[in-house]
Structure 1
């Protein structure tokens, strides 16, 4: 498969290279915009200037979040190079971050998704849709680390970190209200309330959405609430936060048939009107910080709970799954800094009880019988020690390093009969329940980065990092085809990055070249058994370019060119031998977005911001044999926000402006092309009121 680059993309890449070369040659005496001087907290849990970080990062700020006003998180993550949140139906999603779109019960374990640095799900209990657990719509920012995380992240920080930060209650209007309407009976309301009283600041953020659904008999109702309290005392600095999300969704499945997304008779067809998904998530933490004689002490206890029920409509026998988890966690760290060195060390503990059941209402065949397929609980404990340090060796040369040691333990308790879920006459029972057991996984991660200041506003860095993920509980205990024990190893990844970033005048650029080798990859083989030992490689170039003019014009490009391939001849389910060197399925070799906008002030305290966005998705293969392919697509989105004065504002968003026929995600399974159909042109209008501004 070639790169299949469109003429538009080649033009943008040529422009990107020109801007990049100009920026590198320039020296930093010019006044630079502050885009790369943003404060980043995700790398070390401490505020740091992004320009000096020896790792690839992206930050989507609150202004971009408000302008995009995403209905689904994939609409905002297009602003981060190398990130593709593939949208399923409703609020469902799959993550690709410097990776293919990873599926299966454990694929989500390759990404560390977090809320104020705390993982949305416990280690070992990820869910592919877990990003709908977080109130990204009203966040203060979303920060992304691409590639293995730093030492403050452990299990699952393999391909990257997506960290959603709560909004600062001291920033923004004291009160804000908005109502919104869109196509297919889509309605959303939101409210924001902030208050300060002496040393205390309070923030409350709520939004509720109802969507009638683009597909027949499909739609969702969703509510999200975030509360935050900050206290600045003479001794202790405290930050408390609580977040709850609820989703009730009527789900639509794939439509089948080659390029079915172009067929008017199939585009709105829901082949699974009986499908549904109900999910609830609750999280809270209290972060206490103070100065001591040994440095700054930070203590953060936290709690999380999730429950989910859904019909597995993607399987012909359609069982119902219920899963959930409850966790208590504690983070303790000590940090300090001098003129030339800063360091931190800490302990992370996470104790979780997770559960899962799968029940089939009707008999499908002797190999897929009615009744209980699985019913188990797992008590899990994750404990880690970490340390990291940054040295300023000379006025130009900096060194960053980190080390983490982590132990993940599972105590599995089968709540139903051990062994096969089928009657003795079954020829190849799909469901096997292992007997009670305990499993332990010890892993370590390390990272080392060097930065060199070419000038005041230009940096080059070299980084090496190693990450890991232990097997997920579902990979260990949700077995098939008579597999009595899943003897799995932890997946590991090693990466090298060479990056360059800087600013000159109104231009900023950030680019990185990377090579990553992944080992002991867990997969389901042709016998439907969970095994480890596969190898994959991931190489590419990522770039972000941004320009802001004095007249209010601005432009930005975020993109990547990459190759994700099989480095071993694994006997994958649904493939035949000989896949070594093939592209991994659902791994486009290039995708990205570009936008141009105008932000101007008008008379009488009014302002107007207009933005046109172009989204490019390259072609990709749909299965490991590389015999079936999706052609890719191009989309245009238009956004306008008008401040009317006296606290009133309105916005207009037009998604898929040219009414392109496309697939949000393409797949090939059960012998057929399958698609989640992309929605046609949609017009969204919002009216907002903020009576008091600071």
Structure 2
């Protein structure tokens, strides 16, 4: 055993010891309560208690506090009260999770969990390390991260590799979004909201029984406005020409309030309770986003390809055009659940989704050095079938999974002011993935339970396309910048993997669960979806693999106290990431080497007081994280620049907290005050950790008040980013993408 292995084993032992020590200390400090068998969410359940959320992380319903893994779960009410309307909002509520909006701005996002995923591909053929599932359907492309949040039942964020039940591309974790199903009784709501920068949002849903056995629900969302950036046009470069024979830099004039949303979304659900005792559920949706694409701001004092922005206002930008976006998606799922015997249930899920995205973008300055148009289309079909049941005390699940997806994407790159040309890339990727999986949960005693599972995956992909110099002006300088263009390629990739997880849990009393696990995760090989400027760049990537060691505990009491601690250590090999492999070449996505990640997740929730008139509840969480590149493949200069670096989007400290105070006013009136806070330490957004990719530490605060009546109506008002903090979502060289300034808003809601 070499010194590195000894150090790694020692570190794993320290993490397990730290988790165990925290468990002993916290259990010793917690108030004593009698054991309780109260049903989650039942009459005896404490209000607003996190542990009462029922999750389906194990492909079956379980209380959050009973699942031996690190999970953050958010109810529909929680999401509503904090104004969460997209994945960025969920990220802001979850410690240890970070989001980066790359070249596509807010229309092109990647998510990292515990430092994994920050180097994911921003193009539509790239799979996220954090697998996104919506209504039990896996989303193959990050294009679907643009889907809006509305009429949501709950969101579950599973941290760490989920290779057994969720399969490939879940090395960082899983995000489950479950939308609301119809019930037997007629119910619904409508919400109208007005916010800063002329932002409007109308959301509503209605559902109930159509016949004795069939119920339905329809939900709709309409949102527009909210842009907070101010465009200054082309500035001093307006009307200039770099190369004789190319058009001058146009000046589109000034625009205020740039970045407006223009979203329409619909969802319909039919639920049939069958005479056989089974349930058949059909969901169909569509969405359209025709908003204004937020453009990056050029940072003063840094030369951005010849352009120096004359001011350092983070909410202004200069550009020769104002980029738009048009993102349209539709699809649906068919979920069939049928008890076959008293002990065995069959579940089958068919899914289909289609996404079409057109996004314009620019580089934070008026010079046309890398303006681009993305034209993307994604089509996917999936099937999952599983049997679940129990054999005496043993719970088990076995299943099969298949998914096909096809991605067509074309990019026009405008190099008019640096190379007197435009370059077009036109690619197609097809992928077929097949898997079989199984998991067994065996209570070997009344206190000890062993859970084990395996999954075999077979993955095939084909990537074909071309990159050509369009030379629209007849004077292209591209030969000196892109000597290998034109490029034509047609490549294939085939890999397979066995992933699994083994967990030992111990429940000394009803309120406490202690666990330790070892698991593996697998991110499929594939292809670099960015612009290919040489045949080598189109070669397939090797699969990315992670070994995960975790240990932790959960405490849950009938009085509303909840706490969890989870220590983790990841050993990652064949890391897929963007890097510059040679001078004067663009970033290329390759396998760059090995890395380790380790840290601790903490969550706590407790009622500070609760009486007939007042209640005050605290929910808080945090993640301590360290990551390090331990082996790097490349030139000596590249090794020196990257070895020992943090992984992208892996902040060392993140934390969230919220205080919810409820005041009974009498006459059926209740006033709820919610104060929430989010802290995030500095992080690098690029692999090489250069200073110009560093996003500084920031903290955000929000305040919301709502007056509600037991008659179903409520009025609310809020302020977000209370201190008007200037913070960046992304930073790369001279470009930064800034988050929203202080926002005010309010609205009315009626539920029936």
Give the TM-score, by structure 2 length. Answer: 0.81
Structure 2 counterpart of 1:99: 115
Q: Distance in 2 between the 1:440 and 1:419 partners?
A: 33
Asked if the contact 1:23/1:503 (under 8 Å) is kept, the reply is no
Structure 2 counterpart of 1:479: 532
Alpha-carbon distance, 1:19 to partner = 11
Structure 2 counterpart of 1:547: 606
Alpha-carbon distance, 1:349 to partner = 1.0
Alpha-carbon distance, 1:470 to partner = 1.4
Of the three residues 375, 382, 386, the one matched with 2:437 is 386
Structure 1 counterpart of 2:727: 663
Q: Distance in 2 between the 1:444 and 1:95 partners?
A: 25
Tell whether 2:44 aligns with 1:21.
no
Structure 2 counterpart of 1:469: 523
Q: Distance in 2 between the 1:138 and 1:435 partners?
A: 44
Structure 2 counterpart of 1:370: 422
Alpha-carbon distance, 1:29 to partner = 2.1
Alpha-carbon distance, 1:569 to partner = 3.2
Alpha-carbon distance, 1:87 to partner = 6.1
Alpha-carbon distance, 1:333 to partner = 1.2
1:308-332 deviation digits (Å, cap 9, x = unpaired): 1112424833231211111222111
Alpha-carbon distance, 1:118 to partner = 1.1
Structure 2 counterpart of 1:492: 545
Tell whether 2:505 aligns with 1:451.
yes
Asked if the contact 2:669/2:710 (under 8 Å) is kept, the reply is yes
Q: Distance in 2 between the 1:418 and 1:537 partners?
A: 41
Q: Distance in 2 between the 1:199 and 1:333 partners?
A: 25
Alpha-carbon distance, 1:218 to partner = 2.5
Asked if the contact 2:353/2:381 (under 8 Å) is kept, the reply is yes
Stretch of structure 1 that moved more, 547-556 or 617-626: 617-626
SS at 2:482 equivalent: coil
Asked if the contact 2:100/2:685 (under 8 Å) is kept, the reply is no
Alpha-carbon distance, 1:437 to partner = 3.1
Q: 1:102 to 1:627 in 2, by over 3 A?
A: closer
Structure 2 counterpart of 1:7: none
Q: 1:17 to 1:343 in 2, by over 3 A?
A: closer
Structure 1 counterpart of 2:190: 177
Q: Distance in 2 between the 1:573 and 1:469 partners?
A: 27
Of the three residues 278, 284, 305, the one matched with 2:326 is 278
1:513-541 deviation digits (Å, cap 9, x = unpaired): 00011110123342344421411211111
SS at 2:541 equivalent: coil
Q: 1:259 to 1:149 in 2, by over 3 A?
A: farther
Tell whether 2:257 aligns with 1:209.
no
SS at 1:66 equivalent: helix
Of the three residues 397, 410, 420, the one matched with 2:448 is 397
Alpha-carbon distance, 1:351 to partner = 1.7
Of the three residues 598, 605, 611, the one matched with 2:661 is 598
SS at 1:593 equivalent: strand
Q: Unaligned 5+ residue runs, structure 2?
A: 1-20, 37-44, 231-257, 303-308
SS at 2:507 equivalent: strand
Asked if the contact 1:414/1:436 (under 8 Å) is kept, the reply is yes
Q: Distance in 2 between the 1:601 and 1:132 partners?
A: 39
1:6-47 deviation digits (Å, cap 9, x = unpaired): xxxxxxxxxx9799624676666255856325321122x221
Alpha-carbon distance, 1:480 to partner = 2.5
Q: 1:269 to 1:578 in 2, by over 3 A?
A: closer
Asked if the contact 2:466/2:487 (under 8 Å) is kept, the reply is no
SS at 1:555 equivalent: strand
Alpha-carbon distance, 1:428 to partner = 3.1
Asked if the contact 1:433/1:478 (under 8 Å) is kept, the reply is no
Q: Distance in 1 between the 2:336 and 2:69 partners?
A: 28
Structure 2 counterpart of 1:515: 569
Of the three residues 56, 69, 72, the one matched with 1:41 is 56
Of the three residues 595, 604, 623, the one matched with 1:536 is 595
Structure 2 counterpart of 1:688: 749
Q: Distance in 2 between the 1:646 and 1:25 partners?
A: 38
Q: 1:137 to 1:264 in 2, by over 3 A?
A: farther
Asked if the contact 1:590/1:618 (under 8 Å) is kept, the reply is yes
Q: 1:532 to 1:627 in 2, by over 3 A?
A: closer
Q: 1:677 to 1:95 in 2, by over 3 A?
A: same
Q: Distance in 2 between the 1:680 and 1:82 partners?
A: 23
Q: 1:259 to 1:402 in 2, by over 3 A?
A: farther
Of the three residues 269, 275, 294, the one matched with 2:316 is 269
SS at 2:145 equivalent: helix
Tell whether 2:234 aligns with 1:218.
no
Q: 1:650 to 1:607 in 2, by over 3 A?
A: same
1:164-200 deviation digits (Å, cap 9, x = unpaired): 0011322997131121100111001111111113122
Q: 1:481 to 1:574 in 2, by over 3 A?
A: farther
Asked if the contact 1:432/1:484 (under 8 Å) is kept, the reply is no
Alpha-carbon distance, 1:443 to partner = 1.7
Alpha-carbon distance, 1:305 to partner = 0.5
Tell whether 2:408 aligns with 1:335.
no
Q: 1:454 to 1:573 in 2, by over 3 A?
A: farther
SS at 1:483 equivalent: helix
Structure 2 counterpart of 1:526: 581
Tell whether 2:357 aligns with 1:357.
no
Q: 1:172 to 1:54 in 2, by over 3 A?
A: farther
Alpha-carbon distance, 1:259 to partner = 9.8
Structure 2 counterpart of 1:679: 740
Structure 1 counterpart of 2:339: 291
Q: Distance in 2 between the 1:616 and 1:172 partners?
A: 42
Q: Distance in 2 between the 1:637 and 1:264 partners?
A: 29
Q: Distance in 1 between the 2:30 and 2:610 partners?
A: 23
Q: Distance in 2 between the 1:253 and 1:270 partners?
A: 7
Structure 2 counterpart of 1:249: 291
SS at 2:316 equivalent: coil
Q: 1:334 to 1:205 in 2, by over 3 A?
A: same
Aligned ranges 1:57-68 → 2 under 5 Å: 57-68=71-82
SS at 2:290 equivalent: strand
Larger radius of gyration: 2
Q: Distance in 2 between the 1:616 and 1:592 partners?
A: 5
CA RMSD of aligned residues (A): 3.2
Structure 1 counterpart of 2:281: 239
1:48-72 deviation digits (Å, cap 9, x = unpaired): 2333322211210111011012244
Asked if the contact 1:419/1:434 (under 8 Å) is kept, the reply is no
Alpha-carbon distance, 1:424 to partner = 8.7
Asked if the contact 1:449/1:464 (under 8 Å) is kept, the reply is yes
SS at 1:515 equivalent: strand
Tell whether 2:357 aligns with 1:308.
yes
Structure 2 counterpart of 1:111: 130
Q: Unaligned 5+ residue runs, structure 1?
A: 1-15
Q: Distance in 1 between the 2:702 and 2:588 partners?
A: 43
Alpha-carbon distance, 1:587 to partner = 2.3
Q: Distance in 1 between the 2:130 and 2:749 partners?
A: 35
Of the three residues 603, 608, 620, the one matched with 2:683 is 620
1:375-413 deviation digits (Å, cap 9, x = unpaired): 232332111111111111110011111111111112334
